[in-house]
Homo-oligomer: A and B are copies of this chain.
């Protein structure tokens, strides 16, 4: 039966609209402001208003979906985890608003980023408001769950935010450094990419009140998934075909971003490293230098790491014993995220 929807599609089709409604209620409750444009700026970042509003501008919402699926796969009623799912999505968007300012990125999800529309000062402030709304959303867990669990969730959430800021700090600092170790790279992406995915899983598991062992396994799955995803992204950033990944076609070789293959290549101290130190790489040179980097083993190295992390993620998910349709959906989502080819 070609038309039967997969567990992921079925559940996402039910969960996504509920999430959007919940997010709207958070933004509206936070907008007891009498004047000004702050609510509009928040809505814009969430893809609800302005030119280009709609599903692309709303983003893929993988993280809140992970929270809800984990709650259900842990035996809980997923609706009770909506405050945590919204919190994770708002935290993610807060970090995107600030990232775009820090990286000077004029676009986000196919349209002008918040700072490009309202200026950097207002955009910093909009991010701050989004972060406060994320925290407020999380507190609503206490409407369905007991106060101790809510407080635990708050602890997890603040630890995660600190890890995000540490990852971002390192990422920014790396721009001005030439020698970055693999340890530093792993620490950076652990904070910047993996922490929030681990937390999405952990919050879902915490809300479902699964055993400590299962909760740790769910979290581990999220962390390894995040690392694997980032390494894949790094590979695609150099050897990906732009039509498939749908990103801007500027190779990381051109932007000078210090991704895993590049850090590996620099550590070899061979031709690639010498070329890198000579100065910026122009778009026309990117494919030749990508080949050079591949010849020095960087692509194979990164692919091996991605495979190792992918296996490690799927192993952790098995250990977590996700239940029922939501468990199937989690496996499906993991495979979908990790199987993409550039």
Bound-state CA distance A142–B30 (Å) is: 25
Contact between B158 and A125, CB atoms less than 8 A apart: no
Dominant secondary structure at the A interface: helix
CB distance from A156 to the nearest CB of B (A): 11
Bound-state CA distance A169–B35 (Å) is: 10
Contact between A131 and B131, CB atoms less than 8 A apart: yes
Which of the 9-residue segments A132-140, A251-259, A323-331 touches chain B?
A: A132-140
Q: Which of B124, B131, B166 contacts A101 (CB 8 A)?
A: B124
CB distance from A135 to the nearest CB of B (A): 5
- Knowing that A102-B124, A125-B168, A147-B148 touch, tell me 18 more A-B residue pairs with CB under 8 angstroms: A36-B166, A36-B170, A38-B169, A98-B128, A101-B121, A102-B120, A102-B125, A121-B172, A128-B131, A128-B168, A129-B161, A131-B131, A131-B161, A132-B165, A133-B158, A136-B155, A147-B151, A150-B151
Complex interface: chain B residues within 8 A of A34 (CB): 187
Q: Which of B30, B151, B159 contacts A162 (CB 8 A)?
A: B30
- How many copies are assembled? 2
21 of the cross-chain contacts (CB-CB < 8 Å) are A35-B170, A35-B187, A37-B169, A37-B173, A38-B165, A38-B166, A102-B125, A103-B121, A124-B124, A125-B168, A125-B172, A129-B161, A131-B131, A131-B161, A135-B157, A135-B158, A135-B161, A136-B155, A136-B158, A147-B147, A154-B154
Bound-state CA distance A131–B133 (Å) is: 13
Indicate the member of A101, A150, A155, A158 with the most B CB atoms within 10 Å.
A158
Interface residues on A, range: 35 or more
Contact between B142 and A151, CB atoms less than 8 A apart: yes
CB distance from A161 to the nearest CB of B (A): 4
A25 located at the interface, meaning its Cβ lies under 8 Å from any Cβ of chain B in the complex: no
CB distance from A341 to the nearest CB of B (A): 33
Complex interface: chain B residues within 8 A of A102 (CB): 120-121, 124-125
A312 located at the interface, meaning its Cβ lies under 8 Å from any Cβ of chain B in the complex: no
Contact between A165 and B129, CB atoms less than 8 A apart: yes
Complex interface: chain B residues within 8 A of A121 (CB): 101-103, 172
Bound-state CA distance A103–B120 (Å) is: 11
A43 located at the interface, meaning its Cβ lies under 8 Å from any Cβ of chain B in the complex: no
Complex interface: chain B residues within 8 A of A122 (CB): 169, 172-173
Indicate the member of A102, A159, A161, A169 with the most B CB atoms within 10 Å.
A169
A250 located at the interface, meaning its Cβ lies under 8 Å from any Cβ of chain B in the complex: no
Residues A135 and B154 in contact in the complex (CB < 8 Å), given A35-B170, A102-B125: yes
Complex interface: chain B residues within 8 A of A157 (CB): 135
Contact between A35 and B184, CB atoms less than 8 A apart: yes
Query: Which chain B residue lies CB-closest to A128?
Result: B165
Complex interface: chain B residues within 8 A of A187 (CB): 34-35
